[in-house]
Structure 1
Amino acid sequence: MTRTVYVNGEYLPENEAKISIFDRGFLMADGVYEVTSVLDGKLIDFAGHAKRLERSLNELDMASPISMDDLLEVHRELVRVNEINEGMVYLQVTRGAPDDRDFAFPDPEVTPSSIVLFTQNKPGLADAPAAKKGFKVISIEDIRWGRRDIKTVQLLYPSMGKMMAKKAGVDDAWMVEDGKVTEGTSNNAYIVKDGTIITRHLGNEILAGITRNAVLRFAKEAQMKVEERSFTIAEAQDADEAFVTSASTFVMPVVEIDGAQIGTGAPGPVAGRLREIYLEESRKAGI
């Protein structure tokens, strides 16, 4: 089946979709994005993604090309026409396509923002085999720009990190700055020590994950202790458990860091319970 995508107000077959070569997302990485998961044909935490999208646009002084109500309807229509039961909806907004390449921002009254959405079908997303065995990760230096709290399309270094991990025969990489873990290449990082869930505090150094926010809320509601602070790789290697969260992996255990086994070397009970709670509560709240 040919996938239907959405480009600047039109629903199109994917092989007919086009953007200008002058689009600033293509030329300058001048754009932001969101990825919303779909479970049981419903959108997971759409409101959180929409709110973060608005924040990213505001931080970059970029105009939104669509209202959040209309954006929800586009998401739902793409899920419907592409028959997505489990998967993701990718959204990207750029500063648009002026007549020529220029470092200066174009006038938004003359050059409207561009918007693209497409779906990714991922059967078995909630029952990923990796959740039963856990991720292995390596640590790499974090050399990204300083505004990681804005969800931009500047993903070259995270992609390089994924490839470093692949070359090392593991699943992902955790980035380290000034001796402390910031986050994974596409996820937020956590450790568990003596029953306390520890994850880096929010700031410009990391993305405020939508799944992160939900998981921490569920943890507190379940009377789990949460501490938001930075931690080192050595501290992570000495932890009882470790895990990551993201819209595509939900809660994913981490069982090895830089070759050192974490805890028992198997997914731990805290990560396992949080994954159960997250999937259960998210399915109830899906729209």
Structure 2
Amino acid sequence: MEYTMTLPENHPPMPLRELLEQEWLVPRKVRHFLRTRKNVAVNQQPAMFHQEVRGGDQITLIIEDSDYSYQPIQLGQADKVDVLFEDEHLLVLNKPAGVKTHPNQPLEADTLLNDAAAYLAPKQQQPYVVHRLDKETSGVVLFAKNPLVLPILGRMLENKQIFRRYQATVWGKLTQDQTIAKKIGRDRHDRRKRIIDPRNGQSAVTHVTIAHAQQKTTDVYCVLDTGRTHQIRVHLASIGHPVVGDPLYQNKPAPRLLLHGYELHLEHPFTKEQLVIIAQPGLW
């Protein structure tokens, strides 16, 4: 597959080797193949790794299928895909509640990843999971469309350069915004659940902002500093305001879990465009 990226005009000059290794995180093995096969060009001309590239330059990489490993997945249903944003490198989807982000067994074919694979198959492209949402949670999910961009997105996620904001409706009336900083660990008695575990848990921080307060419930926005399993659900339940419809952390009936990944902000790894993607209609 051939990929051509134009460096932003304000991109600082640097050796091509440094761009590939440090900014684009191309693995050592793939860099070796690019060099030995002469599969890299700058402005349509064969390039040497030591040459300098700068803003406005077009960088072309030819990636062979064998350069990266890919785990084949079952094709789902392309017509179920709700596309929020797409270009050559990124695919952002609006996940329905009740659908898993990715399969846990090889023959599963009814997850968002399966449907994304079916959607991309006619384009001879493949989806790669960048992050996930719980099955019961709806909203924005980011996929990479090629292995070239995947490690860059992973680093951005790790460095908190991808901003996500969630909507939730909780039981009870919250009176003020707050930050919940409580360690989260596994529940030894129920493998599906997580608990507040001050001694052995992993650090977790959730910022909660009130959007609307009703008589019996409160609509809130949540922003995470960390990405622990069930983090929002466990933290809100820990302060006595569980998410409405949560099948694990409260026992009042509701049609669904009222938690939605509403908003995603990131700088495009290659174009440096600031992307703001909202998963409508949301909860409210």
Q: State the TM-score, normalizing by the size of structure 1.
A: 0.31
Q: What is the TM-score normalised by the length of structure 2?
A: 0.32
Structure with bigger RCO (C-alpha 8 Å, 6+ apart): 1
Larger Rg: 2
